[in-house]
Amino acid sequence: MGDVTFEQTPTPLEAAPLPVVQRLTFHDLRAALAAGWRDFRRAPQFGMFFSAVYVVIGLGLAIFGAGTMWWTMALSLAFPLFAPFAAVGLYEVSRRLERGGAMDWYKILGVVISEKDRQIPWMGAIIVIYVLFWSFLAHMLFALFMGFSNLTNISSSYESFLTSNGLTMIAVELGVGAVLSFVLFALTVTSLPHLLDKEVDFVTAMLLSVAVVRRNFLVMLVWAALIGASMIVAMIPLFLGLFAALPIFGHATWHLYRRALKAPDAP
């Protein structure tokens, strides 16, 4: 029985000129979501497989991270390292469906594995640094507002959060978290599918992603809010809703990227 080898790339990657940022409308969001739902229905096994990465890490944080700082740190850092590769898997499925490529496990997983030698690991490193900074800032805000409070076990007693300092801290943490989330969204919304699709460096891909958000600020703000709200709802039943929400939005992100960045000579 011969050895099984993964296909490294489905098609030769093109070194193309920088794409042109397009003007998007809410119709583009609806069309991308419809296309994402269609892709999920056509290949649900791939969507559920790649979504399992997020679900397993989320459950791990809920089960093991609640009592152990080391588990929390390990799983929190594992997420930004593995999540981009899982996202690439969803984008590759959509790309193959779009181009009529073979829906073959070995070929799709081979593309995901081959990304380790390209730009995706750099994106993972950027996300890790971002998450660490975010965690540090959250701890600093907590210390700033609650540092002079009576020593309380916050895991079993929430009274300290109902004080004026506690409520102010919650409001500031939510506000800062929302801003940082949107910045990370702006850096990655089109850069991850762009890195899969074209031969481009991660800095250029991130700058183009930010340019897409700047040119279509209201539309992309709604898109970010829709993703955030959907993920929160999907996580409520033991993270199981992510098995549907993640692939739909993952496939939709590919189609939105295809609408947001066009080759200079494209109609």
**Taking a C-beta distance cutoff of 8 angstroms, is the pair 18, 204 a contact?**
yes
- Domain ranges, ordered by start, for the chain: 21-129+182-262
Count CB-CB contacts under 10 A for residue 15: 8
Confidence of residue 159 (pLDDT cuts 50, 70, 90): low
Contacts by 51-56, CB closer than 8 A, 24 or more apart = 51/86, 51/242, 51/243, 51/246, 51/247, 51/250, 52/243, 53/82, 53/83, 53/85, 53/86, 54/79, 54/83, 54/86, 54/239, 54/242, 54/246, 55/239, 55/240, 55/242, 55/243
Residue 198 has pLDDT above 70, yes or no: yes
Residue 1 has pLDDT above 50, yes or no: no
pLDDT tens per residue, range 16-41: 678 999 999 999 999 999 999 999 99
261 secondary structure, DSSP code: E
Residue 76 has pLDDT above 60, yes or no: no
13 secondary structure, DSSP code: P
